[in-house]
A and B are shown apart, each in its own frame.
Chain A
């Protein structure tokens, strides 16, 4: 977020640990924190997921409404992703409209899902050019302990996997599950003094030079990427990050999504 305030001493401490190949919480550089994922936690939502990544907590809700399609894709449903960094989640968050950090993360999550073709949007068309299903993915951040991005993206796809299209409610036939074809998963790494670390905690996120998020799919292809933060990345570091992220994503998919 960049708004966090941190003492120089702490920065030095984290940097010196890195030189010894260690992290503050004892994890290896390529280890993701413990994940607790629960789905269907909100009955009123068409799909939902509560995810705890380390101490970070995010709640994702999926709602569907009938609306009109975009003029350039009259036969396809619409995905709208938004994220709120609620003041409940951190002393540094303020109420009000989303700022650039929240907008960026929501859009990265959105692109991952959209570009991977995870949802078969053509099946969400009711009458071409007139009515389609609009899928609202709302990301509610409850506790920020670093790496909201990955928690959100994992939560979003988990919520989609459990979501139903409320056809009956609209009096148009029988309910059906959202047609999910792929499971894009984002993995974020930070560059601290030249070392790439997976799944940064809050301190690491605050001291890092730059941050890179890579969204990859079941077949190992990449559907989204975003560099963030004030630093620059060398080609070598970037390629290393990409291959590590794809590997980690497939591990996450196996452990947390395939049984939903």
Chain B
């Protein structure tokens, strides 16, 4: 493990990785990357690599868990064993259970669950590589996956963290800043700036906290722009294919709502980007969808059950020892993962002119 750096911000006001205090790490995202999920998103943010998928609304079993007046949202934040420097034991930890809970609650205010009584909307967020800020990265990806799945929402949710290093507030902590900094405040917001997730640990004054909210707001606004762009790009491209001869301008905002189209696009993207999967033709996939979905829900159920059993077997002390360490997302692996190779050919998100300079 590396030692604490002497200074986090140099005399030119630049951070260890060359960013300014209010600058985020570069982010790119791609939606519709998984063919079997109803909606999905792959997101890279600095060295974080996160994959989110949404299944549903679908029938919830066992029935006693169903809510008669709304859909249930289930959110599972999970870290891959190889996602951090020192391997972590697979399966839910106390940390991941807490993150799953607050992340789910971050989406409750925006997802229009009352439209699907008795159903469940499953959100799975897998952290493939972790490098500080995974919960916020996962929320950004999950937000896109929900939109990709066509789940009715009042708006997108965006999330980022503000922290304190060398007595200064900085946007989007990287690993050393997270490990050795003085505070970490992850937040998620709706497009109106209402806060749906807020956690904090460290040490800040009331004034600093007020400033932190403002910085976070600006960060979330930038992320929201990227999220919108990514959604627009997908649906605009689709429309161009469909009305290839028509020169009429496309009303993009209306298309974002268009959900039917997403399934076809899923095949498109995965063939382009991953070069595998989606081998069957569209009709086959669509026909089998319903049956397979049902099977899926059973399998998931089993998986969850076995998780709980495992939990029971775990010795408490060991569990606690591992979890009580706040800095349990271990330091980054500098070598690029194989995974990155496979995702490298994903297109990079268009960056608005203004931000381009900063991000480079």
Contact of B198 among A71, A230, A233 (CB under 8 A): A233
Question: Assuming the A-B contacts A223-B201, A235-B193, are A100 and B324 also in contact, with contact meaning beta carbons closer than 8 angstroms in the complex?
Answer: no
Q: Do A221 and B101 have beta carbons less than 8 Å apart?
A: no
Q: Do A111 and B201 have beta carbons less than 8 Å apart?
A: yes
Q: Do A104 and B327 have beta carbons less than 8 Å apart?
A: no
Q: Do B100 and A100 have beta carbons less than 8 Å apart?
A: yes
State which size class the interface on A falls in.
35 or more
Q: Do A100 and B97 have beta carbons less than 8 Å apart?
A: yes
B294 at the interface (CB under 8 A from A): no
Question: Assuming the A-B contacts A222-B209, A230-B109, are A80 and B320 also in contact, with contact meaning beta carbons closer than 8 angstroms in the complex?
Answer: yes
Contacts of A72 in B (CB 8 A): 1, 179, 325, 327
Give A104-121 as 1s and 0s: 1 = Cβ < 8 Å from B's Cβ atoms: 101100110011110000
A85 at the interface (CB under 8 A from B): no
- Chain B CB within 10 Å, residue with most, of A71, A114, A227: A227
Contacts of A224 in B (CB 8 A): 200-201
Q: Determine the distance from Cα of A228 to Cα of B210 in the docked complex, in whole angstroms.
A: 19
Q: Determine the distance from Cα of A25 to Cα of B109 in the docked complex, in whole angstroms.
A: 29
Question: Assuming the A-B contacts A223-B203, A228-B105, A243-B206, are A233 and B1 also in contact, with contact meaning beta carbons closer than 8 angstroms in the complex?
Answer: no
Contacts of A79 in B (CB 8 A): 324
State which size class the interface on B falls in.
35 or more
Q: Determine the distance from Cα of A243 to Cα of B207 in the docked complex, in whole angstroms.
A: 10
B195 at the interface (CB under 8 A from A): yes
B40 at the interface (CB under 8 A from A): no
Question: Assuming the A-B contacts A225-B200, A233-B194, are A78 and B321 also in contact, with contact meaning beta carbons closer than 8 angstroms in the complex?
Answer: yes
Chain A residue nearest to B189 in the complex (CB): A232
Question: Assuming the A-B contacts A81-B324, A110-B324, are A230 and B102 also in contact, with contact meaning beta carbons closer than 8 angstroms in the complex?
Answer: no
Chain A: residues with CB nearer than 8 A to chain B? 70-72, 78-82, 96-98, 100-101, 103-104, 106-107, 110-111, 114-117, 210, 212, 217, 220-235, 238-239, 242-243, 246
The 9 A-B pairs at the shortest CB distance, nearest first, are namely A225-B200, A230-B108, A232-B194, A227-B198, A232-B109, A100-B101, A111-B201, A115-B201, A80-B320
